[in-house]
Amino acid sequence: MALSPEELERYARHIVLREVGGQGQAKLKAARVLAIGAGGIGSPALLYLAAAGVGTLGVVDDDKVSLSNLQRQVLHGTSHVGRPKTESASLAISRLNPHVTVEVHPLRLDAGNASRVIKNYDVVLDGSDNFATRYLVSDTCYHHKKPLVTAALGTFDATLTTIRAHETDKDGKPNPTYRCLFPEPPPAGTVPACEEAGILGAIAGVAGTLAAVEVLRAIIGFGESLVGKLLMMDLRNMRFETLRYEWSPENPLSGTDAPAPATRLSAFK
């Protein structure tokens, strides 16, 4: 996909990078990325993906901007309070980079619409704030063979990983699914919501920006990704650790007792 003279100047610092270059920038322009959530993680991620020149950004969110969001959700401003987050996100992205097409999905993902939305994108970034959505997104990405970058926030901590469960590693072993990492959600009530526990706003910026790097990596193909690795960030003490995890034969998606592909896909068409 050809770049215009204006785009060549806009992305000049990318193009001079050996790992990106003109070919990589053209891949970004042709890419379609879906962000689940325009909140703490989605805000910085969408801004950097737009600045990087990802050609089409989809935004899923059914919420409206509230004043308490603005401490960390930098995609939105005071004048956007009360407006749909998808609308605010679209305005911010277009203001930053008019070359990016924004597709808004002002809805809450559920079993009835997840497949319809996700199947039209190349890479999915999940910044949702609940386990039900995370499992739904990861399962749907597996069935539609979409790379998934998923991040979660705590009060002073965050986690990030990349899922390519529809592929195998260099040894031919299946890549792990999200359910290999977290077989079951934690018991109800054990993980307090942001409204109860609080969060240091800049934590969202760190996690969202790193998530954007993983999305760009998935499109361009540079370096070593977080497939099979969970990056754990303790920003209270400025410690970063990486936990390795593997495919589990007991997982319900690609495990040894999982349904046949035709059966699995029937619910996602």
pLDDT value at position 265?
Answer: 44
Cα dihedral angle (75, 78, 80, 81), rounded to 10 degrees? 110
- Neighbouring-strand partners of residue 44: none
**Per-residue model confidence (pLDDT) at position 30:** 98
**Other C-beta atoms lying within 10 Å of the C-beta of residue 228:** 20
Cβ neighbour number for residue 236 with a 10 Å cutoff: 12
Domain ranges of the chain: 31-266
* Mean pLDDT, residues 145-171 taken together: 96
* Catalytic residue status for 141: no
Measure the CA–CA gap between 240 and 232, rounded to whole angstroms.
6
The pLDDT of residue 200: 95
Options 96, 104, 194, 235, the catalytic residue? 194
Looking at residue 221, what is its pLDDT?
96
Check pLDDT > 90 for residue 227: yes
Q: Could you report the per-residue pLDDT of 188-225, keeping only the tens digit for each?
A: 766 777 777 899 999 999 999 999 999 999 999 999 99
Is pTM beyond 0.85? Reply is yes
DSSP string, 163-179: E-TTSB-TTSPBPPPHH
CATH superfamily, with its number, for domain 31-266: NAD(P)-binding Rossmann-like Domain (3.40.50.720)
Instruction: Give the pLDDT score at 266.
Output: 40
pLDDT higher than threshold 70 for residue 49 = yes
Asked whether the predicted pLDDT for residue 148 surpasses 60, the reply is: yes
Q: What is the pLDDT of residue 267?
A: 42
Q: How far apart are CA 160 and CA 242, in angstroms?
A: 10
Is residue 48 a contact partner of residue 127, using CB atoms and an 8 Å limit?
no
Q: DSSP letter string over 222-258?
A: -S---BTEEEEEETTTTEEEEEE----TT-TTTSTTP
Q: Once rounded to an integer, what is the mean pLDDT over residues 105-118?
A: 97
Take residue 238 and report the two structure tokens written for it.
């400025």
Cα separations in angstroms, 170 against 122, 156, 219, 248: 22, 35, 19, 17
Interior angle at CA 51, CA 1 and CA 81, nearest 5: 130
CA dihedral 126→129→130→133, nearest 10 degrees, is -30
pLDDT value of position 257: 80
- Name beta bridge partners: 123: 33
- Given this model, what pLDDT does residue 189 score? 67
Residue 185 has pLDDT above 50, yes or no: yes
